[in-house]
Amino acid sequence: MTPSQDLAARSRAAVWHPCTQMARLADLPPLPIARGDGPWLIDTEGRRYFDANSSWWVNLFGHSDKPLLGAIKTQLDTLPHVMLAGCTHEPAVRLAERLSARTGGALGHVFFGSDGASAVEIALKQSFHSWKNRGQTTKREFVCLKNSYHGETLGALSVTDVQVFRDAYDPLLMRAHIVASPDARLDNETEALAAMRALLAARHSSIACVIVEPLVQGAAGMVMHSPAYLKGLRELTREFGVHLIADEIAVGCGRTGTFFAWEQSHAAWPDFLLLSKGITGGTLPLSLVLTTDEVFSSFWSEDVTRGFLHSHSYTGNPLACAAANAVLDRFDAGQLDSNREQAERLARAFAPLAPGVANLRQRGMILAFDVLDEKKQAPPRFAERFHLAARAHELLIRPIGATVYLMPPYLIDDATAAFLAGAVTATLNDVLA
């Protein structure tokens, strides 16, 4: 048994892997990764794999990025952690100020969480509690879009419409309203907004908030919609007095071409905006909930029960905040201009693939296409087979059902774009032969 095989076997025995049917690991062994270098992951035997999905969409600037690691090491020498209840520290304050400034001060209050699902839980609770504090106690229902994904804790699952995640826990979940999703492939945005209008008109006195993934519904299979849909949705939620939550956990931090995907809507800011994943560049867990003066002020009282009594032990951890500030430094230095150039390189490299696949699409640094059989369905176990075949072409990539997607680190030059297109094409040929 090689060292890699040994580590994989030990992992199967001792580690319960996320989003994994453990019985499948005999046929789909975990890659034993020893280190990371830029966009590459290197296993215990020295083989390398391009991290095409940025390790679940978190790794913005490549692995072992020196500025990010330097910021964390500097913070480690001064203050690794202090509780944020009754204390504060400069990295958290500076991060909150800088994110607020990116909204022009419209979202001026930042609550810190640990991960994306916890940010969703926080926003749902804040929305409900805010209405309650203002005497509107009937506003306790939530609205999400068809095929939406917002996390796997119970509250987040209640506004998630991906059956493989929620069906087992359905008896435990709240009943959210599920409204038609806009999908650029179907040209149905007008109908989707009409369905939302009908629901809000009928139920707005009972609805606390609508939650949406701006521009790209990730776990649905990179389903994309236009900025115009977001503008229409913002107008509807304002018309009917309902909060709007923009879940930018996957699409924020420059993924779609602007720092916040919401910026492309040219609409009024949502009531809540959520960040996680890329905000620390793939180094440490952190999430943030940005919200308005109006929401914040509804909790302002001498009555403790009207406060937002939510926490975790590592709320606003200084190390994570230092990493996030280092990420913002990159964007202050012009990262978005570089991202636009990189997105164009990806588009050029993958254009020749379009005739042989379905629905080649792109939004900034997210590129996707579908692989469908004659029945317009994914070939049997396509995602598993594609993932395994890609390893032979130095590619770590995990399709979602029939959808192959790339969400790579922001390190795409012409040679890298050509490599990715070549490796994906070769993998397709292997799987579909």
* pLDDT, tens only, 234-267: 999 999 999 999 999 999 999 999 999 999 999 9
Q: What is the mean pLDDT of residues 155-184?
A: 96
Q: Are 42 and 48 in contact (CB under 8 A)?
A: yes
**Element at 72 (helix H, strand E):** helix 66-76
Q: What is the DSSP annotation of 313-357? A: TTTT-HHHHHHHHHHHHHHHTTHHHHHHHHHHHHHHHHGGGGGGS
Q: What is the mean pLDDT of the chain?
A: 96
Predicted pLDDT of residue 3: 83
Answer yes or no: is pLDDT of 117 > 90: yes
**Does domain 69-332 sit in CATH 1.10.3720.10?**
no
Residues 64-79 have pLDDT tens digits of: 999 999 999 999 999 9
Rounded Cα gap, residues 357 and 360, in angstroms:
7
* Annotation: CATH topology of 31-62+339-432: Aspartate Aminotransferase, domain 1 (3.90.1150)
Rounded Cα gap, residues 120 and 11, in angstroms:
30
pTM above 0.85, yes or no: yes
Q: Are 350 and 107 in contact (CB under 8 A)?
A: no
Residue 278's nearest CA partner among 323, 343, 317 is 323
Residues 179-229 have pLDDT tens digits of: 999 999 999 999 999 999 999 999 999 999 999 999 999 999 999 999 999
- What percent of the chain shows pLDDT beyond 70? 100
Predicted pLDDT of residue 377: 84
Going by their DSSP bridges, the two strands 358-363 and 366-370 should be labelled as antiparallel
Q: Are 182 and 194 in contact (CB under 8 A)?
A: no
Q: Are 342 and 365 in contact (CB under 8 A)?
A: yes
| Dihedral of the alpha carbons of 176, 182, 188, 193, in degrees to the nearest 10 | 60
Residues 122-148 have pLDDT tens digits of: 999 999 999 999 999 999 999 999 999
What is the residue extent of each domain of the chain?
A: 31-62+339-432, 69-332
Q: What is the DSSP annotation of 258-303? A: SSSGGGGG-SPPPSEEEE-GGGGTTSS--EEEEE-HHHHHTT-SS-
Predicted pLDDT of residue 376: 85
- What percent of the chain shows pLDDT beyond 90? 95
Residue 289's nearest CA partner among 173, 156, 409 is 156
Burial-class residue 171 by CB neighbours within 10 Å (0-12, 13-18, 19+): exposed
Q: What is the mean pLDDT of residues 353-368?
A: 97
Predicted pLDDT of residue 4: 83
Predicted pLDDT of residue 28: 85
Residue 272's nearest CA partner among 308, 305, 306, 301 is 308
Predicted pLDDT of residue 430: 97
Residues 284-340 have pLDDT tens digits of: 999 999 999 999 999 999 999 999 999 999 999 999 999 999 999 999 999 999 999
Q: Are 326 and 96 in contact (CB under 8 A)?
A: no
Q: Give the SS3 label for residue 115.
A: coil
In sequence order, what are the residues at sequence separation of 6 or more whose Cβ sits closer than 8 angstroms to the Cβ of residue 301?
A: 133, 307
